[in-house]
């Protein structure tokens, strides 16, 4: 079931993702993706062994930058990395920069937002993330093989979250986001795979 977002969070995420898209490949590095469309069959969620193989390869570093303050308040953002190992509807594995949203006292990571990573055809990207504090996971892509957005809640994933939410791995199967008033004739396929994140140091305390 697609779980509703809080209005403030939704507006914040729209602003954040607008900056993510504008940032493009800022600090992103990725392995060349490969894969073919799924055949429509439903497979089991990724196993714990598959989740182990989706660990972050490159730790957060100086190339994983947080933007200057502008369209949104970035005071709570710190740098990080995310990795996506997708099994459905196509198969590929990529890794790139992420922005981690910290609580005001800098004791917990609330959300890890992955910057868009180039995949497939020229101009195609995938982005996503996890709201650690609410147990929500989301993805979107403009790749012709799987143009869609996906979102799911705690019942759609199995997450292993590290200390203070600074790192973790989530095996997921999440539904595509559709318009309930105008549902498509053929529902888009679900997305399944593993998402990992690793956050760097928190930003300075809020003044």
pLDDT at 31: 38
Full residue range of the structural domain in which residue 169 is found: 7-30+46-58+77-177+189-199
Cα 169 to Cα 161: distance, rounded to the nearest angstrom? 7
Weakest-pLDDT range from 37-51, 84-98, 116-130, 167-181: 37-51
Indicate whether 125 belongs to any domain. Answer: yes
Task: Using DSSP, state whether 165 is helix, strand or coil.
Answer: helix
Indicate whether 205 belongs to any domain. Answer: no
What is the H or E stretch that residue 16 is in?
Answer: helix 7-23
Q: Which one-letter DSSP state was computed for residue 201? A: P
Cα 159 to Cα 67: distance, rounded to the nearest angstrom? 28
Task: Using DSSP, state whether 204 is helix, strand or coil.
Answer: coil
Spatial CA neighbour of 83 closest among 63, 98, 103, 64: 98
35: left (phi over 0), alpha (psi -120 to 50) or beta: left
Indicate whether 83 belongs to any domain. Answer: yes
Residue 4's pLDDT band (boundaries 50, 70, 90)? very low
Cβ pair 122, 98 in contact under 8 A: no
Indicate whether 131 belongs to any domain. Answer: yes
Cα 169 to Cα 125: distance, rounded to the nearest angstrom? 21
Mean confidence (pLDDT) of the chain = 80
9: its two tokens: 């969070």
Give me the number of domains the chain comprises: 1
Q: What are the pLDDT digits (tens) for 159-182?
A: 999 999 999 999 999 999 999 999
Indicate whether 107 belongs to any domain. Answer: yes
pLDDT at 187: 86
pLDDT at 107: 96
């Amino acid at each position: 079931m697609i779980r509703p977002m809080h209005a403030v969070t939704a507006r914040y995420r729209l602003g954040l993702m607008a900056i993510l898209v504008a940032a493009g490949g800022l600090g992103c590095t990725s392995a060349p993706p490969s894969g073919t469309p799924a055949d429509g069959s439903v497979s089991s969620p990724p196993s714990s062994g598959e989740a182990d193989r989706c660990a972050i390869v490159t730790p957060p570093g100086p190339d994983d930058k947080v933007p200057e303050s502008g369209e949104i308040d970035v005071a709570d953002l710190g740098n990080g990395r995310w990795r996506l190992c997708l099994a459905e509807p196509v198969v590929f594995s990529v890794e790139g920069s992420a922005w981690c949203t910290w609580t005001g006292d800098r004791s917990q990571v609330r959300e890890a937002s992955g910057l868009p990573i180039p995949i497939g055809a020229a101009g195609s990207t995938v982005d996503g993330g996890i709201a650690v504090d609410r147990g929500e996971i989301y993805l979107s892509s403009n790749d012709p093989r799987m143009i869609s957005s996906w979102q799911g809640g705690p019942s759609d994933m199995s997450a292993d979250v590290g200390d203070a939410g600074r790192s973790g791995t989530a095996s997921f199967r999440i539904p595509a986001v559709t318009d309930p008033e105008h549902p498509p004739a053929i529902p888009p396929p679900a997305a399944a795979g593993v998402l990992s994140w690793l956050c760097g140091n928190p930003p300075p305390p809020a003044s």
